[in-house]
Structure 1
Amino acid sequence: MTLYIWRHPTPLNATGLCLGQTDVEVDKRKLRRLANQIQRFARRNRLEKVIWVSPLQRSLGVGKILAQRGFRCEVTPALAEVDFGHWDGRPWQQIPRAEMDLWCEQFADYAPSGGENLRQLFARVALWLAALPDTPRLAVGHAGWINAARLLVAGRSVPTAAGDWPRPVAYRALIRLTIPTVLPAPVPPPPESC
């Protein structure tokens, strides 16, 4: 199965923010540009006019435009960006240094209060990918989600060091993922101690 996933357009007023599931606006012209790009791609490759998006405006906005053009828009929380909990939407500079250090030390397992850790993100991504039918799919997603999917498809485990996390894909960039019949399971979290 092949997944064609584009990263959403650049969000407005988000520079320097820890941006996960905080819902921020995107310039409508940039949403239309990405919708145009996806529409041309689908037509050129004779793909089914179905677009999968997250409920966050930077992804959903593209889906709504395509829906007005005859696409079926499927919204799923499984495609949402990683949840940074109480960090989400805050400037990176305002996040306490001790919390950032702890995150870097326990990269795969640390979750900001109310958020999810990388293992949880990988499990969510793997479940969604495993449920896809054996036909090409189009989607608009987020950088963290796309990186997790790329690592899973490559058979890599959840990074345990921040330096092993890939650079984010560019805004509006297309990533083609060939999903294996059986995805490697993400490494489960270690057992909790008393």
Structure 2
Amino acid sequence: MILYIWRHPKPMNTEGFCIGQTDVKVDKRKIKRLANKIERFVRIKQLPKIIWLSPLQRSLKVGEILSQRGFHCQVSPELSEINFGEWDGQLWAQIEKKEIDDWCNNFANFAPNNGESLQQLFNRVEEWLNARIFEEGGKIESIPILVVGHAGWINAAKIIATSQDIPKVAAEWPRSVNYLQYSRLDF
């Protein structure tokens, strides 16, 4: 299976905030710019106009534009960013230092209150990927899957694609892909 995944456009007014599943706004021009990039990519690669989206508006809004251009959009909650629970939408500076230290030192298994751990995110990503492989009948030469996703989800998928272990401490977490950038992952 080949997965082409674009990171959503940069959200507005989120500097210094812990943003996971908080539904934040994105500039309409940036949404349109990503939709244009994806449409051009699909035309050049001669791919079917089918794309998967997270239900968060920074992904979903791109799909709304693509839908108007003939794309079939499929929304999946499993594509959402990690759930930071009670931290989500808060200023990082307002989150207790001890909690952040606990998270950094037990990166794979720590979950903020009402949130999910990195292990739970990986489980969710792997479930979604396995479901797509099953839909394709496990064929190696299947139709590529297109996605508009989130940095944490993309990093988890990259780690899974390369059969690496889940990071145990925060320092092992890879740098996020840039906004509007796409990654090709082969499974």
**Aligning the two structures, in what range does the TM-score lie when normalised by the shorter sequence?**
over 0.9
**Map of 2:145 onto structure 1:** 137
1:74 is paired with a residue whose SS is strand
- For 2:145 and 2:55, the matched residues in 1 are separated by 17
d(CA) in 2 for partners of 1:156, 1:135: 25
Question: Does residue 162 of the first structure (1) align with residue 170 of the second (2)?
Answer: yes
| Counterpart mapping for 1:8-27 below 5 A | 8-27=8-27
Structure-1 separation of matches of 2:3 and 2:161? 11
Aligned to 2:45: 45
Any idea what SS the aligned residue of 1:73 has? strand
1:172 paired with 2:177, answer no
Q: Which amino acid aligns with 1:62?
A: V
Q: Which whole-Å deviations, capped at 9, do the CAs of 1:48-94 have from their partners, x for residues lacking one?
A: 10110000000000011000100001000010000000000111111
Which residue matches 2:139?
none
Higher relative contact order (CA 8 A, sep 6+): 2
TM-score (normalised: structure 2): 0.95
Deviations 1:85-115 (A, max 9, x none): 0000111111000100111111100000000
Q: For the aligned residues, what is the CA RMSD? A: 0.6
Aligned residues: 179
Q: Which residue of 1 aligns with 2:99?
A: 99
Shift of 1:135: 1.9
Residues of 2 paired with 1:44 and 1:107: CA distance? 40
SS of alignment partner, residue 9 of structure 2: coil
Amino acid at match of 1:172: L
Q: TM-score, normalised by structure 1?
A: 0.91
From the two aligned structures, give the one with the greater helix fraction: 2
